[in-house]
Every structure is written in structure tokens, then in C-alpha cells.
């Protein structure tokens, strides 16, 4: 018996006997009982195209583990999809599914006492959940991002899910017919995988590699491709080496690794949601890091070196063909902490030792960027004293200072109705509040309104300020993840209809233009309205979720 493995129970014990009986009944060879026991975490689901290919790749991973000398077990979890799970209760279930998945994985892996994990990651919430679970459990683990989908062609026009998403605004304002939209939906998705573009799913796939938790040269990758098969096979073999060498996630997920990931996120213009997800992963890794401050500091030093949709005209497959995250890490090599450990079993310096050819038309240098400012940055002011996130790469470079009256809504549907009526006009600043993790409860979609604004041709002339859920596909003048959220007494709660707000991107400020005495009086006097929540998962989430500044993970709220 391999006594080094935690999964090998003492012979003659109750745990040993009952598990042995189960496995014999399952047809597992008794000679395999003492091998390293590896979970293949699979969020396969028939509800979403994001996951349609995972069963095939789960089997490939299991076969690779067996070939490498391990004993593989498939572990199925919930499978949240941003475009499916968002349908109920105004998307309130969506953000809480991330943390539900973390706990789901903990129960299955720790309950069974397995030795390692391969985590097959797909849609927006799965990659951060997998990284969070790896950080929490701290057993050898490899994240395998399972790829992006391709868009299609509709009457000579390239159409993907981003176009469909934005097109709702065009439809609402009467600039597009319902039949045209139906045609777009017929061709927007060609094959399995996550949304095309540098939205949250692909962004977090890239973050997994930038952190060192995914194998080198693996992101982004087309879902279902031969290359993905090779990646899964490599992971199945590599996880046994990590178990043998006892290389664990917290050996990899260090402050230096997070700093590397932040620099990559800023340089390529990742989704605004990377901030909250990286914050959550750091908390689960038991690191006392202020990720908001880290993004704020690093954004002063790294310009935008790619222009992947929605940040520009290039597609996610262009980034893939240009060398992907690995090529970006090469571009930033002189500015990274290359001594950090990776799941390859070597340092980042060793991973980047071999020079690569990089297509400068897709991935530029820091000295010759597409834009001299960062893709992501933090903005502060009396509306967001703890910070808010701005995706500068999604904003027209000419709109630097924006001043306008507040249009206040606590339901996205109401804002959508006003947009359809033509009542939201150029110069307005739309405030969508009480949509954060506590306020929802469960973060409420604000991104559909932002996409509709884009489709209506107003994204560059109407600003949005929100504590709700945004999409990595969103573009326009959006101040997202306003902290503290309104439901926690943040200043967003005291803004009234017609109040003037000033957004200054050059100064990185957002301010409510009312007298300081009035501001303080309203803030100190604000109290959240009493509410009665159903006794369900969302109530549990509201009662236990930490502030968004801490990644909205579970814990005691202060």
C-alpha cells in the first residue's frame, strides 16, 4: 500500500472495508486500489451549449489518468450558464452558483478523500469556481479550460453571440426586425464551448494559465478541437506528477502569481468580472490581498496590447492563433515574477525559456500598444469610495469626461422599458442599484441593459453606473462593481433622480455633485428597507455572502 497517499485507508478499518466492497461491485480491479485517486470534475449539462462537449473530454481525461498509473473517478457538479441560468429570478441565481459549485466540489472530493483533481472548466462561473475550490482544498489540481465556440455567417455578416446580445437594443428601438433577429439566432453559435470574444469565460480561461494553474500554451483554445484533446491527455498525465511531487495549488497561487495575472488582465483588456473572481480565489487561498488596489496600482504601468472583441475588431480565434496567453506572457516577461511555480512542475521562467514567434498584428509590445492606457482600471470618488471597475478598452477614446443627470432604477426591466420608449437619451447617467450580492440577493443582471444600449447606438453617449452583474461582452461608458454596493450602505443608495454625476476617466473619479453636508447627512441617515426573503438558496446566500470587495465569497459579513 502507498502510505503517502491520503486516500489509502488503514487496512481493516471500516472506511477501508466499505469502500473496498463498493469498488469491487463497480468492477474496479483490486490491484488498482492503492493507486493515486484522481477526480475528473465535470460540469456536463444538457441545458447549455457551453458544456455539450465535456463528457467526451472527461472520458479522455479518465483514460489518460489510467494510462499514467492513476485511478480516475468522474465527479459531476452543477453547471451554471450565463445565458441559461440567468433566466430565473432576474439572474439572481447566477453569481451564487459559483460558490455553490465550490462547496459542491469540496463535499465530493473531501468527502471521498481523493488525491488530486482535473477540473474541466467551461462557462463564466466554472473557471473561477474551480480555481477557488483548488485553492480551498489545496490538493494537487490542474484546471483545463475547455474552449470557445465559433460564430457563423448570416447573409454575408459575421454573427456570434455578442451580436445577438447587442442586437436586442436594436430590436427594441425598432431598427431591426424580429425575423432578422431570428435569423441571427440560427447562425450565431457554431459548435460547443463558451462565448466567442474576450468575455468573462475566455478571460478566466486566460487567467487560469496566467496564474500557473492551467498547463502552458492551453488558452484560449477552440472547444472540441484536436488540440484540446492533446491538452486533456497531457493534464491526465501531469496530475500524477503533481501528486508524486506534492505540488499543491497554494504553492502556485501566491501573491506574485496574482500580480502576474492582474498584469495580463490589464494588458489584454479582460472582463471586468476578473476583479471579483481573482479576489475570491485569493480569499480561498487564504491570502490577505487587496485585489482592487492591485488592479488600481498595476493599471498605471500596463497599456492595452491586444484588441480582442469586444475591445476591438480581432476575434478570440485570432488571439489563439497568435499564441494566446503564452505569447502574452512572453510579451510581458520582463515585467513578470518568473520565479513562480506552475502546474507544469517548473517555474514560469522555465516555461518561457524558449522563444516564440508572435504575430504583432494581434499581440503588440508594451512599447507599441494599441492604446496607451490600460484595458481595465479602478475608479474612485464619493460614489465609489471602495472603488469601481472601468473597462477602458470598451470605451470610445474621445469620451473622457461625462457629466449628466442620474436616471435611477432598481430593476433592469424598468430601465429596458424606458429605453424602448425613447425616454433614456444622450447625456443621461443610468444608475442601476440594489443589484449586488446582498441587494439582489444574488447579483442581478445589469449587462442586458448595457448590451441593449449598445444595440440602440447609445453606448457612447449614455453612461451606466451599477453594483449589478456585468458581462465581459459589454462595452460603453460603464462604471461597474461599484463598492460598497447600495444594499451595504454604499453611496449608490442615496443618489436621487436628476442628481448630477461627474465621471472623469482621466482623473479616475466618479462623484455625486451635491454639497458635502447634504451627502454626509443622506449617507448617515440611509437604512435598507425591510424585506422578507423566501427560505431558499438565495436567502442563504444573502445571509452569508461577504462584500464584493472580498470577491463575494461566503463568510461572516462585517
Domains observed in the chain: 35-149+191-351 (3.40.50.2300), 379-530 (3.50.30.80)
Decide: helix, strand or coil at residue 428: coil
Whose cell is 453569481? That residue is 95
Q: Report strand pairing: 157-159 vs 152-154.
A: antiparallel
Q: Using one digit for the tens of pLDDT, what is the confidence trace for 57-86?
A: 999 999 999 999 999 999 999 999 988 988
Give residue 457's pLDDT.
87
Q: How far, in Å, CA of 2 to CA of 37, rounded? A: 11
- Mean pLDDT by groups of 10 residues along the chain of 558 residues: 82 96 96 97 93 96 98 96 88 93 97 98 96 98 96 90 83 89 94 92 97 98 97 98 98 98 97 95 96 96 95 94 97 98 98 94 97 94 96 80 96 91 95 94 85 85 92 79 96 97 96 97 94 90 91 76
Q: Which of 3, 45, 471, 518 is catalytic?
A: 471
Enter the pTM of the model. Answer: 0.94
Whether 48 is catalytic:
no
Quote the cell numbers at residue 27: 468492477
Contact between 454 and 395 under an 8 Å Cβ cutoff? The reply is no
Give residue 494's pLDDT.
98
Give residue 450's pLDDT.
82
Phi, then psi, of 294 in degrees rounded to 5: -65, -45
CA distances from 279 to 101, 104, 282, 552 (A): 17, 20, 5, 8
Amino acid at each position: 500500500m502507498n502510505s503517502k497517499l491520503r486516500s489509502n485507508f488503514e487496512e481493516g478499518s471500516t472506511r477501508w472495508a466499505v469502500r473496498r466492497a463498493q469498488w469491487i461491485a463497480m468492477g474496479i480491479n483490486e490491484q488498482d486500489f492503492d493507486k493515486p485517486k484522481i477526480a475528473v470534475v465535470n460540469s456536463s449539462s444538457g441545458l447549455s451549449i457551453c458544456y455539450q462537449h465535456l463528457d467526451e473530454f472527461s472520458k479522455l481525461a479518465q483514460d489518460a489518468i489510467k494510462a499514467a498509473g492513476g485511478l480516475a473517478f468522474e465527479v459531476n457538479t452543477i453547471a451554471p450558464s450565463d445565458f441559461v441560468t440567468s433566466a430565473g429570478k432576474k439572474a439572481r441565481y447566477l453569481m451564487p452558483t459559483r460558490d455553490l459549485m465550490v462547496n459542491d466540489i469540496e463535499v465530493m472530493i473531501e468527502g471521498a478523500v481523493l488525491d488530486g483533481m482535473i477540473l474541466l472548466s467551461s462557462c463564466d462561473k466554472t473557471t473561477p469556481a474551480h480555481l477557488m475550490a483548488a485553492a480551498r482544498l489545496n490538493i494537487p489540481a490542474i484546471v483545463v479550460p475547455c474552449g470557445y465556440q465559433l460564430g457563423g455567417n448570416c447573409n454575408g455578416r459575421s454573427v456570434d453571440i455578442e451580436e445577438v446580445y447587442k442586437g436586442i437594443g436594436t430590436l427594441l428601438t425598432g431598427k431591426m426586425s424580429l425575423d432578422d433577429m431570428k435569423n441571427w439566432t440560427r447562425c450565431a453559435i457554431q459548435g460547443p464551448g463558451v462565448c466567442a470574444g474576450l468575455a468573462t469565460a475566455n478571460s478566466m480561461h486566460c487567467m487560469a494559465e496566467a496564474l500557473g494553474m492551467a498547463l502552458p500554451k492551453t488558452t484560449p483554445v477552440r472547444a472540441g478541437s484536436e488540440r484540446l484533446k492533446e491538452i486533456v491527455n497531457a493534464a491526465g498525465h501531469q496530475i500524477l506528477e503533481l501528486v508524486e511531487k506534492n505540488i499543491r495549488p497554494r504553492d502556485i497561487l501566491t501573491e506574485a502569481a496574482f500580480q502576474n495575472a492582474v498584469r495580463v488582465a490589464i494588458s489584454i483588456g479582460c472582463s471586468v468580472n476578473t476583479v471579483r473572481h481573482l479576489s475570491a480565489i485569493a480569499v480561498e487561498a487564504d491570502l490577505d490581498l487587496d485585489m482592487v488596489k492591485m488592479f488600481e496600482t498595476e493599471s498605471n504601468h500596463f497599456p492595452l496590447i491586444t484588441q480582442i472583441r469586444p475591445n476591438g475588431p480581432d476575434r478570440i480565434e485570432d488571439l489563439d492563433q497568435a499564441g494566446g496567453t503564452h505569447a502574452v506572457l512572453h510579451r510581458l516577461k520582463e515585467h513578470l515574477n518568473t520565479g513562480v511555480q506552475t502546474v507544469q512542475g517548473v517555474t514560469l521562467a522555465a516555461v518561457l525559456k524558449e522563444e516564440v514567434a508572435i504575430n504583432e498584428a494581434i499581440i503588440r509590445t508594451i512599447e507599441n500598444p494599441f492604446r496607451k492606457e490600460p484595458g481595465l482600471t479602478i475608479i474612485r470618488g464619493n460614489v465609489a469610495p471602495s472603488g469601481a471597475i472601468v473597462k477602458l478598452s470598451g470605451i470610445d477614446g474621445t469620451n473622457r469626461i461625462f457629466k449628466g443627470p442620474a436616471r435611477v432604477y432598481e430593476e433592469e426591466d424598468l430601465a429596458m422599458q424606458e429605453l424602448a420608449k425613447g425616454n433614456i437619451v444622450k447625456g443621461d447617467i443610468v444608475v442601476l442599484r440594489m443589484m449586488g450580492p446582498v441587494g439582489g440577493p444574488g447579483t442581478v443582471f445589469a449587462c442586458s441593459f448595457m448590451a441593449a444600449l449598445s444595440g440602440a447606438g447609445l453606448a457612447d453617449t449614455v453612461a451606466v453606473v451599477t453594483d449589478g452583474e456585468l458581462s465581459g461582452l459589454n462595452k460603453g461608458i460603464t462604471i461597474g462593481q461599484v463598492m460598497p454596493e447600495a444594499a451595504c450602505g454604499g453611496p449608490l443608495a442615496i443618489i436621487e433622480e436628476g442628481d448630477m454625476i461627474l465621471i472623469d476617466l482621466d482623473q479616475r473619479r466618479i462623484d455625486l455633485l451635491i454639497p458635502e453636508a447634504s451627502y454626509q447627512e443622506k449617507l448617515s441617515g440611509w437604512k435598507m428597507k425591510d424585506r422578507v426573503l423566501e427560505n431558499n438558496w438565495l436567502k442563504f446566500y444573502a445571509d452569508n455572502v461577504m462584500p464584493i470587495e472580498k470577491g463575494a465569497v461566503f463568510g461572516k459579513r462585517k
